[in-house]
Amino acid sequence: MSGYRGENPLSPIARSVEAVLFVAVQPVGVKELASVTGSTEEIVAGALEEIKERYRNCHGLRLLNIAGGWSMATSPEQEEVVALFRDVALSQRVRLSKAALETLAVVAYSQPATRSEIEEIRGVRSERVLDTLLRHGLIKVAGRRRGSGTPLLYRTTDSFLSLFGLNSISDLPTLEEMQDILPDGEVPDEEGRDT
Amino acid sequence: MGLDVELEGFSGPLDVLCHLVESGGISVAGISVTQLIRVYSDFLMKNERATINEMAAFFSLIARLLLGKLKALLPPSPGEEQSEVDGGSEAELVESVLERYRPYRAAAAALTGMMQARGRSFTRGGSEEGPPWFDLGDLYSLSMVWWEMVRRRREGAGTSPAVLEEDWDGIPTVTPEEEQVEKRMGEIDKLLSSKGSLQMSEVFGPIFSRQAFVVTFLALLEMARLGRVHLVQEVLFGDVRLSR
């Protein structure tokens, strides 16, 4: 309680936005927030900044701009505590193998991509791993390519953006930038593999 | 089924190859694509269940190899380096494949980091369910099975539709849809109990009424959803096997 003393209270619109985000299961777009709260997108953007600032200082929460919208999430500092709470960790942590991540990377950067294009780049059959990614909802079938065989085309989904903390696919660094970030293609330690 | 070799920490053969080349373990020029293909073709010959995909991948490799060999056999054009002759084209082939692969490998590594960072924050869980998924895949795969059956039905109907339509004593039109599906589920259950497993063509074979066709398909989907039947397509474009 004492942590709030001396701080300016949130504006009415920021309180409304906070309340909506509190009950939302999926990320909520600025447009929808503006519509629900009966204000403009600019005002909502200001309210979001206000909430972000408040959370930054004295909260166990944060706002995430993911999959084209805003989501209320726990702050990274609370990771251990939240992970211990019931089965949050089990239900929310998707564990992907290196093969799955590599396939996702190919789909993300080459979408829409066919299975044979993915396999051509990876040099290995990817049928099973594509099934796993479809099952996790990280990719989706986005039609068929015209031409011989009319193969299925795959695209990443909003769940993919959400899992990697991206607002849109254009937030991904380009492949050239990737090379600069990780010149040797070194992979950080993995937590586990299940696919 | 293909041979699955799981190497801890590697996502596929190109990942292994990249690692070996980058760590100086092997030289790109020393990789014999010919030998790789010989070993793999031996494996395919021994494996009687090689799928269309595996055979296609094999032919693709053979084609690329032949192209490489042809380039090596032809006299180099005036501007070309002499090194083409002694396996240079194979090395180039491997190198170009690796060059195209490396950025994606780096991207996968970066995605790992991004996922770990994002994983430190939890959002409200909820009734969020994944996309509908069936034994045969997603909705798209299911629709493919459906259209394939419709096609077969049309082909079959062209031969003797009238007689077979009468054979189906079927489901009265007045019965509500749910009951029809339940009744059909019971029938399929009985068939499964007596036979153990069935091919989908056996279930749909004698049906030539559109309504019965739809009801049977819905019954199968419902049974799959309830876990009362497993639908497995063992071979690409093949029949679908029903079992418990």
Q: Cα(B85)–Cα(B213) distance, rounded to whole angstroms?
A: 62
Strands A152-156 and B197-199: unpaired
Tens of pLDDT, residues B23-61: 666 655 565 667 666 776 776 677 666 667 666 766 666
| Chain A nearest C-alpha distance from B80 (Å) | 28
Q: Where are the domains of chain A?
A: 2-78, 98-181
What Rg, from alpha-carbon coordinates, does chain B have? 27
- Is residue A36 very low, low, confident or very high in pLDDT (cuts 50, 70, 90)? very high
- The kind and range of the H/E element at A69 are strand A69-74
Cβ contacts of B235 on chain A, cutoff 8 Å: none
Asked if the Cβ–Cβ distance from B22 to A184 is below 8 Å, we say yes
A192 vs B47: which has the higher pLDDT:
B47
Report yes or no: B24 at the A interface, CB cutoff 8 Å.
no
pLDDT of residue A3: 47
pLDDT cut 70: percent of chain B above it: 48
pLDDT at B6 exceeding the cut of 70: no
For the segment B123-141, the average pLDDT, to the nearest whole number, is 66
Fold agreement between A2-78 and A98-181? yes
pLDDT of residue B170: 59
A129 vs A177: which has the higher pLDDT:
A129
SS3 A143: strand
List C-alpha distances in Å: A183 to A114, A172, B115, B117.
28, 17, 19, 20
A192 vs B172: which has the higher pLDDT:
B172
Asked if the Cβ–Cβ distance from B114 to A165 is below 8 Å, we say yes
Look up the pTM and report it. 0.60
Asked if the Cβ–Cβ distance from B123 to A64 is below 8 Å, we say yes
Asked if the Cβ–Cβ distance from A102 to B53 is below 8 Å, we say no
- Is residue A25 very low, low, confident or very high in pLDDT (cuts 50, 70, 90)? confident
Asked if the Cβ–Cβ distance from B111 to A88 is below 8 Å, we say no
Determine the residue of chain B that is closest to A187 in CA distance: B109
pLDDT of residue B7: 53
Q: Cα(A109)–Cα(A118) distance, rounded to whole angstroms?
A: 11
Asked if the Cβ–Cβ distance from B120 to A137 is below 8 Å, we say no
pLDDT of residue B158: 54
- The token pair at A86 is 């019931």
B146 vs A71: which has the higher pLDDT:
A71
Phi-psi region of A86 (alpha: psi -120 to 50; beta: other; left: phi over 0): left
CATH number of A98-181: 1.10.287.80, 3.40.50.1820, 1.10.10.10, 1.10.569.10? 1.10.10.10
pLDDT of residue B160: 47
Q: Cα(B182)–Cα(B167) distance, rounded to whole angstroms?
A: 21
Determine the residue of chain A that is closest to B106 in CA distance: A185
Picking from A153, A113, A150, A131, the residue whose alpha carbon sits closest to that of residue B136 is A131
List C-alpha distances in Å: B14 to A55, B97, B98.
45, 8, 7
pLDDT of residue A50: 93
* H-state helical runs in chain B: 13-22, 33-46, 52-73, 88-118, 139-157, 161-167, 177-195, 200-204, 210-225
The H helix count followed by the E strand count for chain A is 10, 5
Tens of pLDDT, residues A117-175: 998 888 888 888 898 898 888 998 888 888 777 888 999 998 899 889 999 999 888 88
pLDDT at B142 exceeding the cut of 70: yes
Amino acid identity, residue A140? Answer: K
Asked if the Cβ–Cβ distance from A184 to B103 is below 8 Å, we say no
Tens of pLDDT, residues A39-91: 999 999 999 999 999 998 788 999 999 989 999 999 999 888 888 876 665 55
CA B62 to chain centre: 22
pLDDT at B8 exceeding the cut of 60: no
Determine the residue of chain B that is closest to A104 in CA distance: B108
Q: Work out the angle at residue B206's Cα, subtended by the Cα atoms of residues B201 and B212, and round it to the nearest 5 degrees.
A: 95
Cβ contacts of A105 on chain B, cutoff 8 Å: 104-105, 107-108, 111
Asked if the Cβ–Cβ distance from B115 to A187 is below 8 Å, we say no
Asked if the Cβ–Cβ distance from B104 to A121 is below 8 Å, we say yes
SS3 B221: helix
Cβ contacts of A186 on chain B, cutoff 8 Å: 109
Q: Cα(B106)–Cα(A188) distance, rounded to whole angstroms?
A: 11
Cβ contacts of A135 on chain B, cutoff 8 Å: 130, 133
- Is residue B85 very low, low, confident or very high in pLDDT (cuts 50, 70, 90)? very low
All structural domains of chain B, each given as residue ranges with its CATH number in brackets, are: 13-118 (no CATH), 139-243 (1.10.10.580)
Asked if the Cβ–Cβ distance from A104 to B111 is below 8 Å, we say yes
In terms of average pLDDT, the best of A181-195, B20-34, B90-104 is B90-104
For the segment B65-82, the average pLDDT, to the nearest whole number, is 60
A85 vs B113: which has the higher pLDDT:
B113
Count Cβ atoms below 10 Å from residue B129 Cβ, excluding itself.
8
Q: Identify from B123, B129, B233, B234 which residue to disrupt to test chain A contact, counting A C-beta atoms within 10 A and taking the largest count.
A: B123
Q: Identify from B99, B112, B114, B133 which residue to disrupt to test chain A contact, counting A C-beta atoms within 10 A and taking the largest count.
A: B112
- Assigned CATH for A2-78: 1.10.10.10
Instruction: Output the DSSP codes for A33-65.
Output: HHHHHTS-HHHHHHHHHHHHHHHHHH-SEEEEE
Range of lowest pLDDT (A134-138, B62-66, B151-155, B161-165): B161-165
